[in-house]
Amino acid sequence: MAKLNFKSEPGEEFQSVPVPANDNKKAKFTLLSYEEYKASRAYDTSVMIIEGLMRVGTLSSVNARPSKGKTGLAINIACALVDGAPFLTRSTQKCSVVYIPVEDGNDVANRLHALDRKDIKILDADEGFSLGNGFKKSVELARDVIRTVKEADPERVPVLIIDTLRAALEGKSVLDDANTSPPLNALRKLAEDEGACIIILNHTNRSDPKNTKGETLESIANTELILIEEGDWFQIWVGKNRAGKAHYLAGKLRFTSRENDDGSQAAVVDEIVTIDGQPAEQSEERITGDRKVLRDIIQTMIMESTREHRPYGYDGPVVKIVSVSKVRTAFYRRKDGSQEGKRKAFNRCIGALLEYEWIVRDEIGENDEPVIWLASKANETNRQ
């Protein structure tokens, strides 16, 4: 048996060296200081992909009751990570995101279609993706995917989103650690080895929606995000969090239904706010949901408009304008739902664009016709 000598003089650094197990076998381990361990990683272990929430080399989870917003929130997070844009006012790292829809991939595709996000890729594997009996093959598939996206863009952190744990287990109980421990620990190790982040969607308990199902996922997850329905809104709770503050209400969001140009429908995030009630997406680059639909409609109509207006008098600049009523009609054609729902959505969205100072509204003519124009000339062609 090998003997280890840990003696050193005060202040003297211990020199880490491989320790032979015996004369017949090569060493299977190395003893490292924290500096040496961190230096041995192929990535910076301190990098946060979402400040205070998710860190490189870890596994996190998004949790909710069935059909209560997990996929919508995960896609919203994916959009923020691909753009390197804030999520709930927290800074993010630019990432390459691959979505693994173990169940209902068409729903994921429809949601990405509604958001026009071709930069978020969907995994289409010939043999599917399983965390059941064939989990080792799927973990190696995930490794290949991570390495592929790293080769395509080495500057971005690879992120895999697995939707959902229950479906991936192929009928095995998420409550039985014998089922979940081997595949989840293999995925956790994969994230650490490859400098990736893996996000797994999971269900919460019926009796207590703040508690997630399955002790293994809870124990190895770096961060838990939990959605709880509250009327038209969904609260976003942070459960366990090794990267920062834990067990608190971080914000809330609500969804809207969108009809795509192929007739498919999709639920996407319409609005997301932080816990202080302020919009979490203040910049033009993060205008999403129905606000993005309205913005695109206004951009197109302004570009095609032949109407001009001098809001600052005859010595001031000329702007192209469009009638609010025409914009409203075009928005109603794009928006799915009841007439009252469309009216509320339009008023909410145009109010947000005014608040962001992306458009200007005024009343002109003898009949005080409401019209709008773009606050900046560059916005005419600045399509996101």
Beta-carbon contacts of residue 205 (< 8 Å; ≥ 6 apart): 211, 212, 213
Calculate the dihedral angle through the C-alpha atoms of 272, 278, 283, 284, rounding to the nearest 10 degrees. Answer: 60
Coil/strand/helix, residue 49: strand
* pLDDT higher than 50, residue 383: no
Tell me the per-residue pLDDT of 306-364, one tens digit each, with 9 for 90 and over: 998 888 776 778 889 999 999 999 998 888 778 887 888 888 888 888 877 889 988 88
Closest among 21, 24, 25, 27 to 3, alpha carbons compared: 21
Closest among 265, 338, 342 to 297, alpha carbons compared: 342
pLDDT at 384: 41
Cα(267)–Cα(324) distance, integer angstroms: 26
pLDDT at 27: 66
Both tokens of residue 336?
Answer: 């799915």
Q: Please state the rounded mean pLDDT for residues 278-302.
A: 70
Domain that holds residue 236: 48-282
Q: Are 309 and 371 in contact (CB under 8 A)?
A: yes
Is 162 part of a structural domain of the chain? Answer: yes
Beta-carbon contacts of residue 275 (< 8 Å; ≥ 6 apart): 248, 249, 250, 251
Q: How sure is the predictor about 21, in pLDDT bands with cuts at 50, 70 and 90?
A: low
Verify that 237 and 354 share a domain, yes or no. no
Q: Which long-range contacts (CB under 8 A, 24 or more apart) does 355-363 make?
A: 355/279, 356/282, 356/283, 356/284, 356/287, 358/284, 358/287, 358/295, 359/298, 360/311, 361/324, 362/309, 362/311
Tell me the per-residue pLDDT of 59-109, one tens digit each, with 9 for 90 and over: 999 999 999 999 999 999 999 999 999 999 999 999 999 999 999 999 999
Verify that 376 and 259 share a domain, yes or no. no
Verify that 119 and 19 share a domain, yes or no. no
Cis peptide leading into residue 164 (ω within 30°): yes
Beta-carbon contacts of residue 300 (< 8 Å; ≥ 6 apart): none
Based on the structure, what is the number of domains in the chain?
Answer: 3
Q: How sure is the predictor about 282, in pLDDT bands with cuts at 50, 70 and 90?
A: very low
Verify that 138 and 68 share a domain, yes or no. yes
Verify that 253 and 191 share a domain, yes or no. yes
Task: State the pTM of this model.
Answer: 0.69
Average pLDDT, the chain: 86
Verify that 179 and 145 share a domain, yes or no. yes
Q: What is the CATH number of the domain that holds 90?
A: 3.40.50.300
Tell me the per-residue pLDDT of 155-172, one tens digit each, with 9 for 90 and over: 999 999 999 999 999 989
Closest among 334, 268, 269, 294 to 111, alpha carbons compared: 268
Is 234 part of a structural domain of the chain? Answer: yes
Q: How sure is the predictor about 379, in pLDDT bands with cuts at 50, 70 and 90?
A: low
Q: Are 251 and 273 in contact (CB under 8 A)?
A: yes
Q: Please state the rounded mean pLDDT for residues 258-284.
A: 76
> Of 227, 252, 282, which residue constitutes the final position of a domain?
282
3-state DSSP percent of the chain in helix, strand and coil, to 5 = 35, 25, 40
Verify that 307 and 245 share a domain, yes or no. no
Verify that 133 and 193 share a domain, yes or no. yes
Q: How sure is the predictor about 279, in pLDDT bands with cuts at 50, 70 and 90?
A: very low
Is 26 part of a structural domain of the chain? Answer: yes
Verify that 167 and 256 share a domain, yes or no. yes
Verify that 6 and 137 share a domain, yes or no. no
* pLDDT higher than 80, residue 31: yes
Is 121 part of a structural domain of the chain? Answer: yes
> Of 256, 282, 308, which residue constitutes the final position of a domain?
282
Q: What is the CATH number of the domain that holds 315?
A: 1.10.10
**Of the listed ranges 53-57, 256-260, 348-352, the one predicted with least confidence:** 348-352
Is 287 part of a structural domain of the chain? Answer: no
Q: In this structure, what are the phi and psi dihedrals at residue 262, rounded to the nearest 5 degrees?
A: -100, 10
Q: Please state the rounded mean pLDDT for residues 228-255.
A: 92
Q: Please state the rounded mean pLDDT for residues 212-235.
A: 91
Beta-carbon contacts of residue 41 (< 8 Å; ≥ 6 apart): 57, 195
Beta-carbon contacts of residue 116 (< 8 Å; ≥ 6 apart): none
Verify that 298 and 244 share a domain, yes or no. no
Verify that 85 and 162 share a domain, yes or no. yes
